Structure 1
Amino acid sequence: MDSEARNLLMVLLILTAIFTCSVEAWTGEIHGRFVCDVCGDSSIGPEDHVLEGAEVAVLCITKSGEVLNYQAFTNAKGIYTVAETMPESDRWDACLARPISSFHEHCTHPAEGSAGVKFTYSRLSGNFHTVRPFVYRPARLPTYCI
């Protein structure tokens, strides 16, 4: 066997070892949204809107006991997303999502029940968990709400 054939065989053996010894990966995703309850009536109406740029912190404990801290901001649709790919043995076990702040000019006060959400993450790889919406209210209700 000439040296070129030997080199090719060596590369093939290395690639085979890499692909057969890979660790099974797991991917998880968490998302939720922020909403401004303009009239503070705890119901969604035409005056209510999503909050772009709101900040959320998500803490997750993995099956191996590691604590992971994520930070995300909402997009123009008021939705935030946290995602991670890791070995299956280190996947998320339990998480806590909590709002940090709303940067909206008028809607900056968290409504009751928007302190945070704890949940067990039991989704299979490639699936997501949706957190209930975090609701903010204005400091003063507009006169059309009264």
Structure 2
Amino acid sequence: MEAKKQKVAMDLILLSLMLFGLGVSAWTGEIHGRVVCDVCGDSSLGPEDHVLEGAEVAVLCITKSNEVLNYQAFTDAKGIYTVAETMPESDRWDACLARPISSFHEHCTHLGGGSSGVKFSYTHPSGYSHAVRTFVYKPVNVPPYCI
């Protein structure tokens, strides 16, 4: 997984260098968030809850030039997903929608209330990131120790 992050970082650096070489002002943005399992389904994160590795999240962004970009991300071992992009300043993200797609955890597959998606304007300058609120899944059956 670390090698994948390094490749993404190198790709972003290479793209930035190409854009600067063309005399285009480059812009870099990042969107990240977490996905967790609310084991007791009580809408309160506690010690019994855990992050979900491998959960799928979709991020849809509209750029300043009205292009629609669709990203797919999966959570890492810490339950964090990240989407990053480097592009010309004139094409930077304007507004985005992040939404959970699926959880591959066998016991925690039902999307919790209020986790259908988050719309937001992306107003950060180049090099900054936007944190999306946590998406929550709940188990099909609540364990007996929760009742």
TM-score normalised over the length of structure 1: 0.86
Deviation at 1:39, TM superposition (A): 0.3
- Distance in 1, matches of 2:54 and 2:31, equals 17
Is 1:126 the counterpart of 2:127? The answer is yes
Tell me which stretches of 4 or more aligned residues in structure 1 moved more than 6 Å: none
Corresponding letter in the other structure for 1:98: R
- Per-residue displacement from partner, 1:84-126 (whole Å, max 9, x unpaired)? 0000000000000000000001000000001000000000100
- Distance in 2, matches of 1:27 and 1:92, equals 9
Q: Which has the larger radius of gyration?
A: 1
Residue-pair matches, total: 129
Corresponding letter in the other structure for 1:122: T
Structure 2 residue ranges without an equivalent (≥5): 1-18
Corresponding letter in the other structure for 2:97: L
Alignment match, 2:6: none
Structure 1 residue ranges without an equivalent (≥5): 1-17
Is 1:81 the counterpart of 2:82? The answer is yes
* 1:6-25 correspondence runs (5 A): 22-25=23-26
Alignment match, 1:68: 69
Alignment match, 1:14: none
Deviation at 1:33, TM superposition (A): 0.5
Alignment match, 1:140: 141
Tell me if structure 1 keeps the 8 A contact 2:35–2:79. Answer: yes
- Distance in 2, matches of 1:144 and 1:21, equals 61
2:145 is paired with a residue whose SS is helix
- Distance in 2, matches of 1:79 and 1:112, equals 20
- Distance in 2, matches of 1:57 and 1:34, equals 12
Corresponding letter in the other structure for 1:126: G
- Distance in 1, matches of 2:21 and 2:56, equals 41
TM-score normalised over the length of structure 2: 0.85
Cα 1:144–1:91 change in 2 (3 A) is: same
1:38 is paired with a residue whose SS is coil
Alignment match, 1:98: 99
RMSD over equivalenced CA pairs, Å: 1.3
Deviation at 1:21, TM superposition (A): 5.3
Tell me if structure 1 keeps the 8 A contact 2:20–2:26. Answer: no
Cα 1:22–1:77 change in 2 (3 A) is: same
